[in-house]
Amino acid sequence: MNYASSSAPRLLVRNLSRKSVRTRAFSRIPRCRAAAAAAAAEAAAEASAEPHDIVVIGGGPAGCTLAAALASNAAISSTHKVTLLEASSMAKLAEWAPNPDEYSNRVSSITAENVAFLSDIGVWGHLDATRARGIEEMQVWDGLSDARITFNSPTLDRHDPFSPHSTAPIASTSCRSPNIAPMATLIENLNLQRACMRALEGAKNLDLVDNKKVLSITSDASGWPIIEIGSGVEGETTRKLRARLLIGADGFNSPVKAYSHIESFGWAYNNQGLVASLRISPAEMGIGMTTAWQRFLPEGPIAFLPLSDTASSLVWSTTPELAKAIRQLPLDLMTRLVNAAFTLPYASLSSFLSLLTSANRPTDTELSDSLEALVAPLQAASVYEVDSIPDESPPKIESIQPGSVTVFPLRLSHADLYLGMPHGGRDLRTALVGDAAHTIHPLAGQGLNMGLGDIQSLLKTLETTVQNGGDVEYVQC
């Protein structure tokens, strides 16, 4: 009796356990089917992705130069296809034909060593030399004390094989003497980009893809980057590229850096760069136009960077409040202020800048009268006359090119790594160059030069890897 009563519960438990096992088994089927469907979809997506060897994202100065460098390298271009992706129109770069009297407000200083590199990869010869200015001298002085330092280009001995400048190309129109090698050459970024596009014409194993944004970057099962590109319009058919090596030349907010899980350190300066294109007074055309001028003011350094005998670029790094106030000025008043910023004693200049940023800012007419009163004694002293000492200040600015005044934030950043390291058990097959790897203050004009240094190092590493029969995915600098 007791046995029978105890066996019933045991039987019930066994039946319930079997039912529970069957229920769990059946509940796994939808999940397994979903996983299988997802895996199948991923495999289909990977299969539809176009295989590419080296994909460069970003058609700015660094990206264009990298593409030209890779295409010019016989070891790399003969065995690997290079693809350059750019969100804007590359055709506009190739067709860039500016008015001879108008200049872009984004310019770069290229060191003699990087000029030689650009020549080696076939880019420098495509530059418009009339819009490139060799810098033979730098005048740098303090706005408070007038303490000054001068940097001069070395004399070039073309017969000395040990001269570091003996093989550096020189723009024929940029130097006073054929025996002076410029310490740097100032060019518009667009001039460099167009030169790269011309160098890439007819290049083998090269694919230019423009007007396409990077929508996403993911990894396939083998760790290859899958780049989805398109116009960003909802419902459009997108395109996917599968890259053996993905290189980010895509700026500070680099999607390649984010995909690679590369951290950066740095900070934003409480400064903005105010830039503009300047026109020089006809009376002073050519005077001091192979000299870069920079005055250090408490509000931030202001620089005059010659681009030709009649044009120069302005870069004034200053506070956001002052940059905004200057930008709001009429161009004629702004022109007079820039001249004053290079010449006025700081006590006088400071009083005007205080008016400019005050809560009860005077009208433009009142500001003009105030500046005139400050500058009048200086004009009476004939500071700008040709017979005066030309080393004291840059040539007088006649006007500012309409539409050329703009500002941009200044920041410092540096990536912890330039190469994507294995993450989640997968090789990332990525590298960073240019602003994607680092951004710095424009004070010394070394931002693009650092990017060109990245390109030279990466190019040399890839060339060595290919020549030794290695795979570009395992690049190690």
pLDDT > 60? residue 282 = yes
462 assigned to some structural domain: yes
Domain boundary among 362, 385, 407: 407
Whole-model pTM?
0.84
| Residue 131 near residue 191, CB atoms below 8 Å | yes
Which stretch of 47-61, 133-147, 158-172, 186-200 has the lowest confidence by average pLDDT? 158-172
Listed in order, strand segments (DSSP E) in 162-238 are 184-188, 206-209, 213-219, 225-230
Exposed / middle / buried, residue 41 (Cβ in 10 Å: 0-12, 13-18, 19+): exposed
Q: Give ∠ CA 142-145-147 in degrees, rounded to 5.
A: 60
Instruction: Give the pLDDT band of residue 473 (cuts 50, 70, 90).
Output: confident
pLDDT > 80? residue 37 = no
Residues 253 and 284 in one domain: no
For residues 350 and 64, give the distance between their C-alpha atoms in angstroms, rounded to a whole number.
43
Instruction: Give the pLDDT band of residue 164 (cuts 50, 70, 90).
Output: very low
171 assigned to some structural domain: no
For position 350, which CATH number holds? 3.30.9.10
117 assigned to some structural domain: yes
What's the whole-number mean pLDDT along residues 458-465? 95
Residue 181: the pLDDT is: 80
pLDDT > 50? residue 165 = no
Residues 296 and 435 in one domain: no
Residues 70 and 197 in one domain: yes
Residues 102 and 204 in one domain: yes
Residues 82 and 224 in one domain: yes
What are the structure tokens assigned to 50, written together?
């176009």
Higher-pLDDT residue of 17 and 290 is 290
Which stretch of 99-103, 168-172, 351-355, 360-364 has the lowest confidence by average pLDDT? 168-172
Residues 429 and 334 in one domain: no
Q: Which residue has the tokens 């920041």?
A: 411
Residue 13: the pLDDT is: 42
142 assigned to some structural domain: no
Domain boundary among 368, 385, 407: 407
Residue 248: the pLDDT is: 98
pLDDT tens digits for 40-79?
A: 555 555 667 899 999 999 999 999 999 999 999 999 999 9
What's the whole-number mean pLDDT along residues 266-285? 92
Q: Long-range contacts for 124-130 (Cβ within 8 Å, ≥24 apart)?
A: 124/169, 124/195, 125/195, 126/194, 126/195, 126/196, 126/198, 126/199, 127/171, 127/187, 127/191, 127/192, 127/195, 128/191, 128/194, 128/195, 129/171, 129/172, 129/173, 129/174, 130/100, 130/173, 130/308
pLDDT > 50? residue 12 = no
What's the whole-number mean pLDDT along residues 416-423? 86
Higher-pLDDT residue of 237 and 163 is 237
Which stretch of 67-76, 105-114, 147-156, 256-265 has the lowest confidence by average pLDDT? 147-156
CB atoms within 10 A of CB 195: 25
For position 102, which CATH number holds? 3.50.50.60
Residue 213: the pLDDT is: 95
Which stretch of 23-27, 118-122, 128-132, 156-160 has the lowest confidence by average pLDDT? 156-160
What's the whole-number mean pLDDT along residues 166-190? 68
Residue 200: the pLDDT is: 96
Residues 80 and 193 in one domain: yes
pLDDT tens digits for 68-127?
A: 999 999 999 999 999 999 999 999 998 999 999 999 999 999 999 999 999 999 999 999
> What percent of the chain is predicted at pLDDT more than 90?
69
What's the whole-number mean pLDDT along residues 449-467? 96
Q: Average pLDDT, whole number, for the chain?
A: 85
What are the structure tokens assigned to 37, written together?
């469907």
Residues 385 and 310 in one domain: yes
Residues 327 and 436 in one domain: no
Residue 408: the pLDDT is: 95
Higher-pLDDT residue of 307 and 285 is 307
341 assigned to some structural domain: yes
Residues 56 and 201 in one domain: yes
Q: Are strands 300-306 and 291-297 parallel, antiparallel or unpaired?
A: antiparallel
477 assigned to some structural domain: no
Residues 380 and 458 in one domain: no
158 assigned to some structural domain: no
Count of structural domains, the chain: 2
33 assigned to some structural domain: no
Residues 353 and 429 in one domain: no
For residues 180 and 187, give the distance between their C-alpha atoms in angstroms, rounded to a whole number.
19
Closest CA relative to residue 275, chosen from 343, 189, 357? 189
Query: What range defines the domain where residue 213 resides?
Result: 46-133+187-263+416-468
Residue 147: the pLDDT is: 93
Query: What are the φ/ψ torsions at residue 133 (nearest 5 degrees)?
Result: -125, 115
Residue 32: the pLDDT is: 59
Domain boundary among 388, 407, 426: 407
